[in-house]
Amino acid sequence: MESSVQPASSSTLYRSRITAIGSYVPERRLTNADLERMVETNDEWIVQRTGIRERRISAPEEYTSHLCIGAVQQLVDRYGAVLEDVDLLIVGTSTPDFAFPATACRIQAHFGMKQTTSFDLSAACAGFVYGLHLANGMIASGLHRKALVIGADALSKIVDYTDRTTCVLFGDGAGAVLLERDESDASSPQFIAYTGGTDGTGGAHIYRSLLADHMEGNPVNANGKLVQNGREVYKFAVQTIPKGVNDLLSQTGLSTDRIDWFVPHSANLRIIDSVCEKMGIPMERTLHTIEKYGNTSAATIPLALEEATREQKLKDGDTVLLFGFGGGLVYGGLLLRWKALSPIA
């Protein structure tokens, strides 16, 4: 089958836009009261330090691919999206079903897409922003025309439920967006600016081991469970996010009062509060799902976007700032001009 996508000429850059969005979370709720019976903790301690009241937990035979499929199916059902001509499929995840094949390949097989470049992207909690940035660039180049970008994680599969400092934080979920070439209005791009970066020296602050039992010559926990130094991750976030936001604003000449919606990675409500206070962004203009879903890693940003879209908070022309950060240590931010979606259901 021949691809209908032609490479862009050296002078051609295409626009892309989000045309559909979907989300999925498992049915089972793990409340703070449930955790009180599992580890030495209590609801007041958890809420005060994290803002989390409950999180969703996947079933024993429910894996990241199932979460992705649920999010994509909602996208199809709600927006009437056609997937057979999707030519790029990116899944941002830290909990793939297998080392290989990629989780993206399981999604391609389930929906029967015929001419799709499919792969997983490992950027921890920044995975969705990285995937969206990459897909936009691939469409802009003319090499691809229609992309499905998913952020999904089943962190309950890798959390140590004897460690009260981490098990209270994490939940499972997935969010997906469909990105298509936009030829409707070349003067009004949806993707305005990007910033990103890496501090690999902080890799040991949050990780999950696979083959190696040492990092930079130092031993690591090699049991395959998620390990986090919360204090260092907090420090990275509250220092990095304001710098990244300022970089996006300086690229565009905008000020924080021109940001209609701030969508940070929902790692911890204390981080979000601290960053918003530093940046002068009111919490009422911040989208997150931390209270009911916890930290779902790559899924937090698309979950918040989907909820805001469904609740009709996002209006056509709104300036939306996405910012992800996580293990690596890595970060990525995108500034978007929102374009209204058209659900059919």
Active centre residues (catalytic): 125, 265, 295
Query: What HEC string does 53-92 produce?
Result: CEEEECCCCCCHHHHHHHHHHHHHHHHCCCCCCCCEEEEE
Q: List, in sequence order, every beta strand (DSSP E) within 209-292.
A: 214-215, 218-219, 226-228, 261-264
Of 235, 97, 83, 114, whose CA–CA distance to 158 is shortest? 97
Which pairs with CB-CB distance under 8 Å and at least 24 residues apart come from 222-228?
A: 223/160, 224/158, 225/158, 225/159, 225/160, 225/163, 226/155, 226/158, 226/159, 226/160, 226/166, 226/170, 227/166, 228/165, 228/166, 228/169
CA atoms within a 13 Å half-sphere pointing along the CA-CB vector of 57: 17
Tell me the two tokens of residue 181: 């070439």
Q: List, in sequence order, every beta strand (DSSP E) within 247-295.
A: 261-264
Question: For residue 218, which phi and psi values (nearest 5 degrees)?
Answer: -105, 140
Rounded to whole angstroms, the Cα distance separating 204 from 68 reads 28
What DSSP designation does 217 have? Answer: T
Rounded to whole angstroms, the Cα distance separating 168 from 39 reads 9
- Assess contact for 94 and 208: CB atoms under 8 A: yes
